[in-house]
Chains A and B, each alone.
Chain A
């Protein structure tokens, strides 16, 4: 992906800003992902160099945390809560509905790059379970109809 190199000046300038702060790696990775949408491979040697770490250490951190992506995300990211509180209110049926309608598994992404599914374990919305997060927005007291309506909206702007 040659155009990854286009991001490098931005990465280098944010590294300049963060590298003096103690334990800066997570804030750096968050900021790169926020700006680019994922952490490009080309950024790894730059990060390692700025923090005086090995590339293996940086890659180890990226792969440890569920949040960090190493490829561009889909247009919409839907994270259905699968933890106990939501399970007690039918989250598994909603998960089945998602798999059925989108023909994707729990971690799947549609071929057209429109939507990615990710499980999440608790959004803090447990008093109004079940819940999901769609593009950063939490929706609680979900029903099968609400879920369908949210998916309709995603597919309309596909």
Chain B
């Protein structure tokens, strides 16, 4: 039998050389007269091992990585005898502790299926959720989503079921489903992986949402920095439409739902749901005051269900397996699983899907293997550029929305950026304010002006030669953080204070301060 190989077509695998490995493998196998079959699949999310080539074997898929094109000759040699003797052989991939200990619900197909193969998707449970939703009808489907305890995965963690019921309860000539795929937070890549690797899952989730709340049209707003996600989704939409999963009669339900992909244009603020709606309407991405909430007056003033990619993609599984199955994962009010993303200065960067409740320490040390540089760990920024820098003393905090809120931090979209002791936290605090100034939509004063003033205050603080001068600037900086946090319209201004205040609180030395000075 022709040996079958699998190599990801994920954009990050390609950015570290997967295409070169594929080309070398195919051409050299041909030269050697070795017939082989190479499938381009999604990525497992074990990015430090990419390019990760897998091969069918009696023990399941065995892996080799991280490969370069230069490793291909020795790999082909090893295949003639015992492949496990190759220096980059990893053994059965699903037995690797990093993967084996995960609880992959949302990313169950990651690394296994071909992104645009409807056949692969169906063979791995695809469209079971939609079938179940059609059988249950809208009222009961909304109840299942409510009972599952699913909360918005974009960062705000609002209960999804309440939004669904609100939109479902409205009367309007047109309602919309909007998927927020403007994943702009540094350290996050789960949305990208899902859109590039399992696009039908998002389409299925949106179709279920549309049928349930009575919306016949949807938009996926994808950031322009993700061109491969855009292309994959557009192709997947055509395939799904041709197969009857979109259009006038979705999955034989007799109900209509269709959708399109819209591309952002490099504005971070458009990840904020109301700015995103304005952008979809063809305007500048300016934040809207709430109320009215988008569920009542959203896109073009009509009722709109806005969710992050991961929220919508969780729905098919919840429908297929039931609310109780999903609730059995997690802790407290954080139910289900979360795809955490390990990034920055970490040895084993990648995607770790686990039930809420494991600690930050387990994530960074057990999965991440500590810093990539081998230098001492300094802090981790959890939840993107608006998240707090968490010092190692707090690494026993469980990854749970409420537990993180209790330490003045936030879980956000589940991204974790690890930093070693060489990263200067005063510079990172300054960067947070500078980023806010650059990306502010300009609607409210604390964010528009406070961000620029904040950069100046930090510059003065760092330049002040004497303790008294430093103390004065610390007081102003803290006051400014308060103004940003409580006086801004949206999370950009409101949460820029998190990285700034946490850097000041836990790393005063980086600002040239004694611990007592920072406590003013």
Contacts and interface: CB of A to CB of B under 8 A. Distances in A.
Interface of A: 22-27, 29-30, 51, 57, 60-61, 64-68, 83-89, 120-129, 131, 133, 136-141
B464 interface: no
Interface centre among B280, B282, B342 (most CB of A within 10 A): B282
Interface string B339-353: 001111100011100
Contact of A88 (B385, B419, B439): B419
B414 interface: no
B343 A126 contact: yes
6 contacts: A26-B263, A83-B186, A122-B183, A127-B341, A128-B349, A138-B14
A85 B343 contact: yes
A85 B187 contact: yes
Given A30-B265, A121-B439, A138-B14, 14 more contacts: A65-B266, A66-B266, A84-B186, A84-B417, A85-B417, A87-B428, A125-B11, A125-B15, A127-B349, A128-B16, A129-B345, A131-B15, A137-B15, A138-B11
Given A66-B265, A128-B16, A128-B47, A84 B187 contact: yes
Nearest to B499: A84
A80 to B, nearest CB: 13
A66 B379 CA distance: 31
Interface string B392-429: 00000000000000000000000101111001000010
Nearest to B196: A124
Contacts of A121: 184, 186, 268, 385, 435, 439
B157 interface: no
A146 to B, nearest CB: 11
B283 interface: yes
Contact of B12 (A27, A89, A138): A138
Contact of A140 (B15, B226, B267, B344): B15
Given A126-B417, A127-B341, A26 B189 contact: no
A126 B280 contact: no
Interface of B: 11-12, 14-16, 45, 47-48, 50, 183-189, 192, 224-227, 262-268, 279-285, 300, 341-345, 349-351, 372, 381, 385, 415, 417-420, 423, 428, 431, 435, 439
Given A26-B263, A126-B344, A84 B428 contact: yes
Going nearest first, the 10 A-B pairs with the smallest beta carbon separation are: A127-B349, A25-B282, A83-B186, A126-B343, A65-B265, A66-B266, A127-B47, A67-B266, A88-B344, A138-B15
A138 B226 CA distance: 10
A61 B282 CA distance: 8
Contact of B267 (A66, A83, A86, A129): A66
A83 B45 CA distance: 21
A67 B186 contact: no
A89 B262 contact: no
Contacts of A65: 264-267, 284-285
A124 B282 contact: no
Contact of A126 (B262, B283, B415, B439): B415
Query: Which of B343, B351, B372, B431 has the most CB atoms of chain A within a 10 A radius of its CB?
Result: B343
Given A125-B12, A126-B349, A138-B15, A88 B423 contact: yes
B186 A89 contact: no
A51 B344 contact: no
A29 B186 contact: no
A139 B281 CA distance: 33
Contacts of A26: 262-265, 279-280, 282
A64 B287 CA distance: 13
Nearest to B221: A26
Contacts of B224: 30, 67
A24 B350 contact: no
Nearest to B387: A84
Contacts of B281: 22-23
A51 B281 CA distance: 12
A132 B183 CA distance: 17
B226 A124 contact: yes
B16 A141 contact: yes
A23 B272 CA distance: 18
A137 B317 CA distance: 34
A145 to B, nearest CB: 14
A133 B11 CA distance: 12
B509 to A, nearest CB: 18
Nearest to B284: A64
Contacts of A30: 224, 263, 265
Nearest to A83: B186
A87 B262 contact: no
Given A83-B186, A121-B435, A67 B227 contact: no
B369 to A, nearest CB: 13
Contacts of B418: 88
Given A84-B186, A120-B225, A126 B282 contact: no
B283 A61 contact: yes
Contacts of A66: 265-267
A127 B282 contact: no
A24 B188 CA distance: 29
B15 A127 contact: no
B275 to A, nearest CB: 10
A90 B45 CA distance: 23
Contacts of A126: 186-189, 341, 343-344, 349, 415, 417
Contacts of B345: 88-89, 129
Nearest to B45: A127
Contacts of A23: 262, 280-282, 300
A136 B224 CA distance: 11
B189 A22 contact: no
Nearest to B415: A126
Given A30-B263, A124-B226, A128-B12, A84 B342 contact: no
Contacts of B385: 83-84, 121
Contacts of B349: 126-129
A86 B435 CA distance: 14
A88 B417 contact: yes
A66 B188 CA distance: 21
A135 to B, nearest CB: 12
Contacts of A122: 183-186, 188, 225
